Structure 1
Amino acid sequence: MADLKKFDENPQHQLLEEIKGARCVMLGSPDHDKHMQPMSPQVDVDAGVIYFFSDNTGELGSTILARPSSVHMCHIDKDYQACVKGMLSPHNDSATIDKFWNPMVEAWYPGGKTDQKMLMLKFEPHDAAVWASDKSSIGFLFEVAKAKIKGEMPNMGKSKEIQL
């Protein structure tokens, strides 16, 4: 269950922490005719930035190398959802690569940290729409039943738009 107190007090920090705990998010392309793709986020909560290891020969990597662009990123969890808009650009800083390098990342890049195909992308979030719920499965059913009896919408949590 999402912490609604954090949602009210510091939704920006909560968003980054939620994304940091995710195995993957869906990252959009600047080419809106292309589908979003799953990417593993590497989150620097203190800097408010999300990094992705990518491939410079793929559609997303080659497009961003040609022109950094505004894109959307979506995070979906059972109790927390977000649609984030921000700037995506290449980021070839060796200190950042070292900071987030791990055995899972290494599996994708046989050439190691200097693999010719590896491209680190930097996502700088600008704004987001976020939704959070503190309802358990039983609480969810209770809200649905109560709403049906009263003829109103169920109270499933909170939502808001935030600046980052």
Structure 2
Amino acid sequence: MTSAHQDQLAALREKVEDVKFGMFTTTNPDLSLSSRPMTSQQIDTQGQLWFFTSDESAFVKNLAAQPLVNVTFAKPEDSLYVSISGRAMLIRNRDKAEELWNPMVGVWFPEALDDPHLALINVDIHSAEYWDATSSKMTQLFAIAKGVLTGKRPADLGEHVEIKL
């Protein structure tokens, strides 16, 4: 991974680290899309997104056949929106589970790391995109109102970054 990619990945990790819940979208056997909220555990320095899951979850059983996923994160109060696409895989890795374990996960897995259904989902990030409005809400509203009056699209409302890994 180039240093430019490392910098982009670091910026992406920083954007998502405080937005714990993402909508994890998968493709069903009938090719329809389905989403569910999941708690992100980590985006590592290799561009891997990690989640805890149960191997009994219905959507997990289809990941091998339909591994392409999308995870979206939003923090509307900060005008931050993130979309991550990649290839998901169900993994059983005790060392990684120990590294990521926290008390909140224990709510779902009462037997902790010894739970027979504890698994990880690893998403190998292929691309990501984020929109982050750096200006204040008042500045954003003013720019939008100005656009309505002038018929011109508002400019400089924040940054929009596309990342290909």
**Of 12, 23, 26, which residue of structure 2 is paired with 1:26?**
23
Cα deviations across residues 144-164 of structure 1 (Å, max 9, x unaligned)?
222233321123223242212
Q: Does 1:77 find its partner at 2:75?
A: yes
**Change in CA separation of 1:67 and 1:111 when aligned onto 2, cut-off 3 Å:** farther
2:3 equivalent in structure 1: none
Unaligned ranges ≥5, structure 1: 1-8
Within a 5 Å distance, the mapping from 1:1-164 to structure 2 comes to: 10-31=7-28, 32-64=31-63, 66-67=64-65, 69-78=67-76, 79-155=79-155, 156-164=157-165
Note the aligned Cα RMSD (angstroms): 1.9
1:6 equivalent in structure 2: none
Report the secondary structure of 1:40's partner residue: strand
Cα deviations across residues 82-131 of structure 1 (Å, max 9, x unaligned)?
22110100121111100110110011101111212222110110012221
Work out the CA distance in 1 between the residues paired with 2:130 and 2:103.
31
Cα deviations across residues 1-36 of structure 1 (Å, max 9, x unaligned)?
xxxxxxxx9433211222222120011113242421
8 Å contact from structure 1 (residues 91, 119) kept in 2: yes
Work out the CA distance in 1 between the residues paired with 2:116 and 2:53.
11
Work out the CA distance in 2 between the residues paired with 1:110 and 1:12.
33
How many residue pairs match? The answer is 155
Unaligned ranges ≥5, structure 2: 1-5
User: What is the percentage of aligned positions where both structures have the same residue?
Assistant: 22
- Aligned-pair distance for 1:63? 1.7
- Give the TM-score, by structure 2 length: 0.84
